[in-house]
Structure 1
Amino acid sequence: MIDLHALYRSRASLFFKEIRPYLQYAMQSAAMAVVVGFLLFSIGYKQFLQWVTPDFPWQLLSAAVMLPALAGGRIRTYLQEADTLFLLPQESGMKAYLKAAMNRALIAQLAAVAAVWLIIWPLYHKLAASNGWMFLLLLIVWCVYKRIMLFGKWTELQIQEKRTRLLFQMMRWILSAIAAYCVIASKPAVGILLLSLLAIAYLGLLRLPRQHIVNWSLLIDIELQHKASIYRILNWFVDVPSVQGKARNVRGLDRIARWIAFRQDHTYSYLYTLVWLRSELFGITMRLTLIGILLLAAVHNDIALASIYLVFTVISALQLSEMKLYYHEHVWQHIYPIRLEQRKRSVSFIRYRIHLGILILLAIPCLFTFSNPLWALALLLVAAVSSGLYHRFR
């Protein structure tokens, strides 16, 4: 019999050894930027606390900041394709392996919840007029709720029907948003009661869908996506091996690529449009854009709006920069009767067009929330020019 708990620890250790060389270079490259960013954030947050008044929608902002920590997070299983042969016979005994994965995820995500609550607390303490005991009480409440959400996320991964799985994912995020806002915006007793009722109802609903014992194929695909995302982040600082996620053909979206003229000089433009539509980059950019739009629609302070817009501009540009890694060492690019320089131009062009579309979508709510709509147009113009230069030379 295989010691599955030890197997999980071994795989986690091997993965850390695999990325450690790149992680060291990334930390060296990012150390100064992190320190400067932390100092700027501290200064800006201190100024914000001095400026903010009860009229500001601070409850909505606090709930939005708290939401990703409560509803998000990953469960690393380190499962591999070969496990469908070697571990599948022990499927009924995988409890120790999966429990180790859950425990590690829980520790990391509880730490994230505590860190986010530490950031929100000064704002809550000032405007809700609460004492130090309330910080500890609500921290315990957040941690208990997070444990329930983590259990819910794991249950989602075992649901057999894809549509039902997506429905429960939406439910987790919606319930977490409601719970976070209720606790922050209501009196503590009322907020905790509402959160408890939502959590109990959610636990009851999790018992309804049909589930696998271990959803092998989904867990392996998700693990590949997790690994690819880590390498994408590390690649911002140092060149690392490209790990591409599984291509997905979303029905109807491929029609966008038909707008590209059927000519030889548009070959790579067509290819990389499909790369964006069928890879995880599409989901990442769409989620970032949606979150940015919601935040920009909720805030009505010019400085805060400009900061949020610029942050999402930079993050989306960094995400799209990974598109150049796809097929850059593929053998077919040496076989196509097309110049290699055309590939670089096409990648830059497609990235810029996608980024420009994101910038325009982000600017739409700014037209209504800026004190002067011309500020929104000026911000869009500056971001568009900067984006053109970035995607041309990066």
Structure 2
Amino acid sequence: MNNLREVWSKRFLFYINELQKYLKYIISGHIAIVIVFVIGAAGYTYSEWLNTAPKDFPAFLVVAFIVSILIALSTPVTLMKKADSVYFLPLETKLGEYLKLALSWTFFSSVIVPLAALVVSIPLLTRIAGSTSQEILYFFVAILIWKYWSIQTEFQYRWASNGKNVWIDYFMRMILLFAGLYFLLSTNYLFLLAVVIIQVLYLIAWKKKKAEVPFPFDHFIEVEQARMMRFYRFANYFTDVPHIQGMTKRRKWLDILYKLAPYEQKNTQFYLVLRTFVRTNDYFYLWVRLTALAVIGAVFIPFPIVAIIFTSALAFATVIQLRQSLSSGEEFRMDLLFPINEGTRKKAVDKLIRVIQLIQAVFVLIVILVQAGFIMELMLIPIVMIIVSEVTLRISKIYEKPASP
């Protein structure tokens, strides 16, 4: 392990292979369809809103706020492993080469998001705020520079503070980034210069403090493990990830749902599947998140046809992901010890999907009635959601892989 560049290269290759291994399941055919529909609906809504947006809309404030949040998200990707706190100690003086490669990858992999936000904001800035192409170019260059600054600053802060109170650093960077972006967009260059000076001094201060303490291996290893675990948990919605163990929670307040499965032998699998859904964080919070997005879309998307497309895409994604997650899994279950027909589990999963999708549609319906009253066009939203859920359920059963003998 004398060459840390070689160590990084091997780990980076493994990391990329790991991403490709699971991304092929995440960005599969049905998810690609959802993404296309969601992007299309969002794009149509955005373009229609631009035609009616008020001239006094605070475009600079909104764009600066959103982009500053995205730039400030700069957690370093170190690819460190648990044993590095021991094996890297003899090479601590040479660690800079490894960390330089890590921070370079962090920059190139994370700068894409704020740049995408810039591309989306160009019509708003040019049509509403009157920004010129030259000012947009300045904005583009500033994003690159500030993203590099943000990554370096967060890294220095985490090193100097051993990862304590990271939210304070994030808040400080976001405020400085917001101020800098706003003054840049509004061409107030004198205040912009003052902000840049403060940013440079802030980075230098943490660099000096970093030099006084040893490298906090344990903190950066924990950060890397948590980052990869988030990815694995997300991938676990789409395929089985062997080293992921889903967390469970009692949720006593949802015990009323168990009345949907009366105490009879024919309801054994439905009760077990229902209990799994209610108590498993991954499954339950996935449904909660997608339902919340559907409710928000139904309320805030001003065009009924776009709202229908958006909520239907989310209903489609809910059915696909939950059915696959609840139906798959090679782990041992207690019900395998009992004389229960093997096919009843899949029927129980389908029954549960129908129930929770009906609840999802009811939530959307209630919010629509409260917010807009009885409008026939809007009433189509929950109806189409139920239809899409049922059609998706039936089609997924047709193309389901047969169980291996």
Q: Give the TM-score of the pair, scaled to structure 1.
A: 0.68
Shift of 1:330: 1.3
Other-structure match for 1:226: 231
Shift of 1:190: 8.6
Please give the alpha-carbon distance, in whole angstroms, between the structure 2 residues aligned to 1:339 and 1:295.
Answer: 41
Other-structure match for 1:122: 123
| 1:282-333 Cα shifts (integer Å, max 9, x gaps) | 555555555665566555444554454345444444543452365x211336
| 1:220-262 Cα shifts (integer Å, max 9, x gaps) | 2331332453575xx5xxxx65346343356xx6325644259
Instruction: Please list, as runs of the form range in 1=range in 2, the aligned pairs for 1:5-24 lying within 5 A after superposition.
Output: 5-17=5-17
Identical residues among aligned pairs (%) = 14
Please give the alpha-carbon distance, in whole angstroms, between the structure 2 residues aligned to 1:313 and 1:56.
Answer: 37
Other-structure match for 1:101: 102
- Structure 2: which amino acid aligns with 1:116? A
Give the paired residue count.
377
| 1:62-88 Cα shifts (integer Å, max 9, x gaps) | 679757744557754434455466447
Residue pair 1:297, 1:366 contacting (<8 A) in 2 also:
yes
- Aligned-pair Cα RMSD in Å: 5.3
Other-structure match for 2:246: 247
State whether structure 2 residue 41 is matched by structure 1 residue 51.
Answer: no
Distance verdict in 2 for CA 1:286–1:42, change over 3 Å: closer
Partner-residue secondary structure (3-state), 1:331: coil
- Structure 1: which amino acid aligns with 2:337? Y
Distance verdict in 2 for CA 1:371–1:144, change over 3 Å: farther
Shift of 1:5: 3.1
Other-structure match for 2:178: 179
Please give the alpha-carbon distance, in whole angstroms, between the structure 2 residues aligned to 1:289 and 1:63.
Answer: 29
For structure 1, which segment, 107-116 or 332-341, has the greater mean C-alpha deviation from structure 2 after superposition?
A: 332-341
Other-structure match for 2:382: 380
Distance verdict in 2 for CA 1:291–1:14, change over 3 Å: same
For structure 1, which segment, 16-25 or 376-385, has the greater mean C-alpha deviation from structure 2 after superposition?
A: 16-25
Distance verdict in 2 for CA 1:72–1:357, change over 3 Å: farther
More contact order relative to length (CA 8 Å, sep ≥ 6): 2
State whether structure 2 residue 144 is matched by structure 1 residue 146.
Answer: no
For structure 1, which segment, 137-146 or 54-63, has the greater mean C-alpha deviation from structure 2 after superposition?
A: 54-63
Other-structure match for 1:323: 325
| 1:108-147 Cα shifts (integer Å, max 9, x gaps) | 2223322331232123211112211111112233334434
Name structure 1 gaps, 5 residues minimum.
none
Partner-residue secondary structure (3-state), 1:340: coil
State whether structure 2 residue 268 is matched by structure 1 residue 270.
Answer: no
- Structure 2: which amino acid aligns with 1:107? F
Name structure 2 gaps, 5 residues minimum.
397-405
Query: Which is higher, the Rg of structure 1 or of structure 2?
Result: 2
Please give the alpha-carbon distance, in whole angstroms, between the structure 2 residues aligned to 1:367 and 1:33.
Answer: 29
Which residue of 381, 385, 390 maps to 2:392? 390
Residue pair 2:298, 2:364 contacting (<8 A) in 1 also:
yes
Residue pair 1:300, 1:370 contacting (<8 A) in 2 also:
no
Residue pair 1:302, 1:371 contacting (<8 A) in 2 also:
no
Distance verdict in 2 for CA 1:78–1:128, change over 3 Å: same
Please give the alpha-carbon distance, in whole angstroms, between the structure 2 residues aligned to 1:72 and 1:270.
Answer: 36
For structure 1, which segment, 255-264 or 116-125, has the greater mean C-alpha deviation from structure 2 after superposition?
A: 255-264
Other-structure match for 1:136: 137
Partner-residue secondary structure (3-state), 2:383: helix
Please give the alpha-carbon distance, in whole angstroms, between the structure 1 residues aligned to 2:115 and 2:245.
Answer: 34
Residue pair 2:78, 2:102 contacting (<8 A) in 1 also:
yes
Please give the alpha-carbon distance, in whole angstroms, between the structure 2 residues aligned to 1:391 and 1:87.
Answer: 51
